[in-house]
Structure 1
Amino acid sequence: MGICNSCESTSVATAKIILQDGRLQEFSYPIKAWYLLQKDPTIFICNSDEMEFGDKISAINAEEELQLGQLYFAMPLKRLKSRLGAEEMAALAVKASSALKRTSSSNKLFVFSQQKNCDRVTRNGDDGDSGRRRGKKTAKLSVIPE
C-alpha cells in the first residue's frame, strides 16, 4: 500500500556535463566531481552559473557533489584561472546548446531499480493522520518550479 507509479513522467532532473569534445554526459543521481576527474586528470569541472564574461574560470572542489538540474563544463587544465573572453563564452554556449539539442532529439530511456513510496496520502481532504482506515485516497501534489 502506498506505492506510487507514474507513466506520465517526461523528464528526470540530471546533472549535465559538457565534455571537451562536445558530448553531453548526464547523471540522474548526485556524484562528486572527483569521479570525473579520476577518469581524465587533464580537466577540471566548472559550474556554468559561476562563469562570467571577463572573470577568471574557477574549478569546483573535487569533493563537491554535482547538483541535479545544473549544467557543468569539463575544461582543460590550461584554462584554469584564465579570463573568460567573449569568443570563448560564445563557443561554450554553442557547444552546450548543440549537445543539449542532440540529446533531446534522441530517444533516451532512464531505468530505475526501485519504486518510490509516497510518504503522505490524504484521505477526504484531511492530512492523512486521522486514523481512519477507509476513504478516498489522493496523493498530495504540487508544482515543482524549474
Structure 2
Amino acid sequence: MGICSSCESTNVATAKLILHDGRLQEFSYPVKVSCVLQTNPACFICNSDEMEFGDVVSAISDDEVLQPGQLYFALPLNRLKHRLLPEEMAALAVKASSALGTSGGEKCGCRKKRTLEVSCQDYRSRKVGDYGDDGLRRGRKGGDGGGRRRKYTAILSAIPE
C-alpha cells in the first residue's frame, strides 16, 4: 500500500569502529587492531564495553582481533590512560548514535534517520525562551489563527486519606 519499498537485508554481525571524527567503519571479517591502526596511527582502539565513568581508558592489544557485534572507539593518543569524565562519555555516546544512525540501508535507498550531534556546550547555550519552567519546549506564538490553543492541565489530583 502506498509507495513503500523494502530491501532484503542480510544481517551479518560486524565489528563497528567509531573513529575520532565521528565516522563509522564496519568490519564483517576478522581484523587485527594493528591493521586498523595502520590507517589511524594517531589513535588507539578501546572496547565500548570496557569504558566506565571515572575509569581510566585503556587500549586494546595490537594483536587482538575486533569481534563481530562489538562496538569500538578510535580515540586520540592523548586520551590514553586518562579518566573518562561523564561529559566525555556522553559525547562518545552521541557520536556513536549519530554514526550508527546514518549507517546501513544505503544500497537500497532506505536510510535510517540521521541523528543530530549535540555537544554539552550546545545544550547549555540554548535560549531559555524556547523552553518553559517545566523544561517542555514551547511552540511558536501567533500563527494564522486557524487552530485553538490547547490548555495543558494536570489530569491527576490528590486523594485525601
TM-score by length of 1: 0.66
- Deviation, structure 1 residue 72: 0.1
The runs of at least 4 aligned residues of structure 1 exceeding 6 Å deviation read none
Aligned to 2:32: 32
Aligned to 1:60: 60
Q: Residues of 2 paired with 1:37 and 1:104: CA distance? A: 24
Query: Which has the higher relative contact order, 1 or 2, with Cα contacts under 8 A spaced 6 or more apart?
Result: 1
- Deviation, structure 1 residue 104: 3.3
- Deviation, structure 1 residue 36: 1.1
Structure 1 unaligned runs (5+)? 1-7, 109-146
Identity %: 68
Considering fraction of residues, name the structure with more strand.
1
Q: Superposition pairs for residues 1-146 of structure 1, below 5 Å?
A: 10-107=10-107
1:48/1:25 CA distance change after superposition, 3 Å: same
The SS at the match of 1:103 is: coil
The SS at the match of 1:104 is: coil
Alignment root-mean-square deviation, CA: 1.7
Q: Which amino acid aligns with 1:101?
A: G
- Deviation, structure 1 residue 105: 4.8
Cα-to-partner distance string for 1:82-116 (whole Å, 9 max, x where unaligned)? 000000000000000000000035337xxxxxxxx
The SS at the match of 1:64 is: coil
Structure 2 unaligned runs (5+)? 1-7, 109-161
- Deviation, structure 1 residue 29: 0.9
TM-score by length of 2: 0.60
Q: Residues of 1 paired with 2:106 and 2:86: CA distance? A: 31
